[in-house]
Structure 1
Amino acid sequence: MIVRTREEVVASGNEVVSEGWTSRRYLLKKDQMGFSFHETIISKGAQLKMHYKNHLEAVFCVKGQGKITALATGESWDIQPGTMYALNENDKHILEGITEMTVMCVFNPPVTGQEKHNPDGSYSLVEEDTLSV
């Protein structure tokens, strides 16, 4: 069984801070669960253009207000507590923080823990043999 507190995640270096967001990575590739699990804080006013071309992601909002826009269609959805969205087709999108927003995210394949967005808004895919477990 794996049990981790926010304090343990931060102390272990598995909190990543970048422009517009902070991500606490609770489950990682090395945990061998088949997915990674994150708590992410989106800053008020952030406009994050992302394209997870190597990962699928599901996101559940637990606090705050935001908006997601699919770049392929221009369609937008309001995000509020209780809203889930899934990037099931590696969708290019913009996520906006109308207020500070807390979301819980699942990535498949799982991330290693220290990823930050590449210039195209993606995370690189890390091969299993490059990990130190």
Structure 2
Amino acid sequence: MIVRDIKDIIGTENEVVTPTWTSRRVLLKKDGMGFSFHETVIQPGTETHIWYKNHVEAVWCIEGDGEVETVADGKVYKLGPGVIYALDENDEHYLRGGKEPLRVICVFNPPLSGKEVHDAEGVYPLEEEKAA
């Protein structure tokens, strides 16, 4: 059984901080669960371009406010506590923080290794499988 406390992740290598978001990577590829699990805080008034070409992601909003806009059709969805969105088609989008920090819980498949940050296209690279 894996048991972790988010307080033990803050300030470690499993907390990735950028100017627009902070991601606390709770479960990673090395944990062997088949997915990764993260707590992420989106900073107020920020915008992040994201396009997970290599991953699908489900995002459950639990605190704060913000919005997500899909690039393909320009639809804007308001985010707040209790709202979930799933990037089931590798949707290119903009994630925007609102007036308060937006705290979300995220699940990725395939799982992240833990150090990923978005590249120039908003993509997380797909970690190459090591040859046996």
* Aligned match of 2:115: 114
Aligned partners of 1:115 and 1:80: how far apart in 2? 25
- How far is 1:8 from its partner? 2.1
Structure 2 unaligned regions, length at least 5: none
Structure 1 or 2: more helix by fraction: 1
3-state SS of 1:128 partner: coil
- Gaps (5+ residues) in structure 1? none
- Partner residue, 1:42: 42
Q: Secondary structure at the match of 1:127?
A: coil
Matches within 5 A, 1:1-133: 1-10=1-10, 12-98=12-98, 99-129=100-130
d(CA) in 1 for partners of 2:30 and 2:75? 36
1:51 maps to a residue whose letter is W
Give the paired residue count.
130
Match of 1:10, SS state, is: coil
Root mean square deviation of aligned Cα? 1.2
Once the two structures are TM-superposed, the CA of residue 86 in structure 1 deviates from its matched residue by 0.2
CA distance in 2, matches of 1:128, 1:28: 15
Runs of 4+ in 1 over 6 A off after TM superposition: none
TM-score by length of 1: 0.94
Q: Structure 1 counterpart of 2:53, which letter?
A: K
% identical equivalent positions: 51
